[in-house]
Amino acid sequence: MMQAKPLRSSSTGALAGTVRVPGDKSISHRSLMLGAVAVGETVIHGLLEGEDVLHTAASMRLLGAQAERGADGVWRVRGVGLGGLAEPAQVLDMGNSGTAARLLIGLVASHPITCVFTGDASLNKRPMARVTNPLEQMGARFVGRSGGRLPLTVVGSDQTVPITYRLPVASAQVKSAIILCGLNTAGTTTVIEAEPTRDHTELMLRHFGATVTTEVMEDGALAVSVVGQPELTGREIFVPADPSSAAFPVVAALLRPGSEVFLPGVGMNPRRTGLYDTLVEMGADIGFENRRDQAGEPVADLRVRHSSLKGIVVPADRAPSMIDEYPVLAAAAACAEGTTVMLGLKELRVKESDRLAMVADGLTKCGVKVEVGADDSLTVHGTGKPPQGGATVATAMDHRIAMSFLVLGMASADPIQVDDGAFIDTSFPDFVGLMNGLGANIKGI
């Protein structure tokens, strides 16, 4: 159990400077996992060294791959080849990370090994049946708690069969778990998604040499197919800065008068940029400079200047492209002029915490008027003036709830405290140092 780390964020002046946001979490997990089943060496530049990704690295080592950080900060993975993962002698601890757990369950499911997965108190509450149901259809077996929750034993098989599976929820984790199981399954495995979710697995698999196709179906859904048992070859990977982490300094700079902040090399995969589209619609001044391609992923340098934001309606079909960004958008909405309505937030209830409830409770405590709709919508009434703040907000082991309320504290009349900032290390190590370097006033209490 980590020691709770309460933090207080107080109102600040203008933010200024350049901030190098750590590497993308989704891409970092995938680079370690694919590197581990490729032949030869994978060299990873800019890997996120947050707790979540370190749990993946440790698990890949327990499964037989080598994964080490060099003194130069570059990670090198020596893979075992597809189908070559070894049975781990210990329980695989996924910590706080749903992505690590769900993707790795998929990857090991098509290996003839038995693995026991566990996580922290937050992860062990999260639903896993969404991955174990399709993987069972492919031939793996599972013994877990109710709802398939962790701790969970996976009995993998090297006789898995390909399936065609329509996702019941818009989830890149579920899509990826099936594709990763399909990787060591003879034949073609297809996942159909009604709403496009992040495609880092598909992009990176192609980079490693697999055949992955995406087809638009008659009803507009996407059919993503992987041809099983390819030869994967170790590659060089340049991990872009995480747009989900960049969201915090971006929103902070928008909210503080006089601010100008520069963020180089931020991932701009269109399946991840819903928050940026939304902020621009709200009136944000964000420059997307020097757009380029970095090892198959689009990136840009962001220049953000303080802006007066206006409330808008955020449509439900945008949710998959900004699923992790609603807490910080809610902080921005609390400072905007007018009402912001965010639709289609059901999935927020099964993240690291019930984010819909945590955001609504925290904002209410800070004096912001909010409503949660029966349709899982969130309405935030901004007044264009700083919210009152002056509250201690519960974070429920959720890094993004903690960071979002620390950003709100920078723009509130009175300081905001979060009960525990320890989980920030899962995705954004040195968040406090980087934010204070721009001019924030965040301190331990």
Positions touching ligand S3P (CB under 6 A) are: 26, 99, 171-173, 176, 198, 323-324, 347
* Nearer CB in complex with ligand S3P: 144/382: 144
Instruction: Output the smallest distance, CB 220 to ligand S3P, in A.
Output: 20
CA distances from 115 to 111, 129, 140, 230, 404 (A): 10, 17, 12, 24, 35
Cα–Cα distance for residue pair 335/408, rounded to 1 Å: 8
Helix axes 355-365, 326-335, angle to 10 degrees: 20
Instruction: Output the smallest distance, CB 340 to ligand S3P, in A.
Output: 20
* Nearer CB in complex with ligand S3P: 279/323: 323
Q: Which residue is nearest to ligand S3P (CB)?
A: 26
Which residue pairs, CB below 8 angstroms and at least 24 apart, start in 125-129?
A: 125/149, 126/98, 126/101, 126/150, 126/350, 127/350, 128/101, 128/102, 128/152
* Nearer CB in complex with ligand S3P: 39/192: 192
* Nearer CB in complex with ligand S3P: 130/256: 130
Instruction: Output the smallest distance, CB 130 to ligand S3P, in A.
Output: 8
Catalytically annotated residue among 93, 324, 361, 398: 324
Q: Which residues, at least 6 apart from 308, have a Cβ–Cβ distance to it below 8 Å?
A: 283, 337, 384
Give 344's Cβ-side CA count (13 Å radius).
Answer: 14
* Nearer CB in complex with ligand S3P: 111/200: 200
Instruction: Output the smallest distance, CB 176 to ligand S3P, in A.
Output: 6
Cα–Cα distance for residue pair 12/256, rounded to 1 Å: 7
Q: Which residues lie across from 339 on neighbouring strands?
A: 381
Is 93 a residue of the active site? no
Dihedral sign (CA 241, 243, 244, 248): positive
Instruction: Output the smallest distance, CB 26 to ligand S3P, in A.
Output: 3
* Residue whose entry in the numeric block shows the structure tokens 């922290």: 120
Instruction: Output the smallest distance, CB 267 to ligand S3P, in A.
Output: 12
* Nearer CB in complex with ligand S3P: 99/353: 99
Burial 23-57 (b: 16+ CB within 10 A, else e): bbbbbbbbbbbbbbbbbeebbbbbbbbbbbbbbbb
Where in the sequence numbering do the catalytic residues fall? 324
